[in-house]
């Protein structure tokens, strides 16, 4: 009870997201403008679809958990660069020879 409400201070914290799309055999670079990458909201290697904020996994997914792969490489860093490859994200014979892509959404 009591206290002086004029002494209350607020700090606004801006959170944001960064998205990237890259085809296999390319690199993806993620950066949060001098803030650390805090979480991976979405990552899919195969045939994902959608736009930033509404990505969706497709019918073909790499053998490794893409969210875990991206998190290991990027979370806590100001920026990260990854090779987009079946070697990194795992191959899946069900995908055939169709071109694969990596869609990523990280939180800053």
- What CATH number has the domain bearing residue 79? 2.60.120.740
Question: What torsion, rounded to 10 degrees, do the Cα atoms 95, 71, 74, 10 define?
Answer: 130
pTM, to two decimals: 0.84
- Does residue 9 form part of some domain? no
- Does residue 53 form part of some domain? yes
Please tell me the predicted confidence (pLDDT) of residue 93. 76
Q: Residue 73 in 3-state DSSP?
A: helix
- Does residue 10 form part of some domain? no
- Does residue 2 form part of some domain? no
Residue 84 in contact with residue 23, Cβ under 8 Å?
A: yes
- Does residue 5 form part of some domain? no
- Does residue 7 form part of some domain? no
Q: Residue 70 in 3-state DSSP?
A: helix
Q: Residue 72 in 3-state DSSP?
A: helix
The position carrying tokens 């959404």 is 105
- Give the total number of structural domains in the chain: 1
**Full residue range of the structural domain in which residue 36 is found:** 17-107
Please tell me the predicted confidence (pLDDT) of residue 107. 96
Please tell me the predicted confidence (pLDDT) of residue 97. 82
Low-confidence ranges of the chain (pLDDT < 50): none
- Does residue 21 form part of some domain? yes
- Does residue 8 form part of some domain? no
């Amino acid at each position: 009870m009591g206290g002086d409400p004029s002494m209350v201070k607020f700090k606004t914290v801006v959170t944001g997201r960064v998205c990237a799309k890259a085809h296999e055999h390319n690199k993806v670079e993620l950066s949060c403008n001098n803030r650390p990458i805090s979480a991976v909201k979405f990552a899919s290697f195969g045939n994902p679809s959608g736009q930033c904020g509404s990505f969706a996994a497709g019918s073909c997914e790499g053998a490794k958990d893409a969210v875990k792969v991206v998190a290991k490489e990027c979370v806590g860093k100001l920026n990260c660069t990854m090779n987009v490859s079946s070697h990194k994200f795992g191959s899946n014979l069900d995908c055939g020879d169709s071109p694969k892509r990596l869609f990523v959404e990280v939180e800053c």
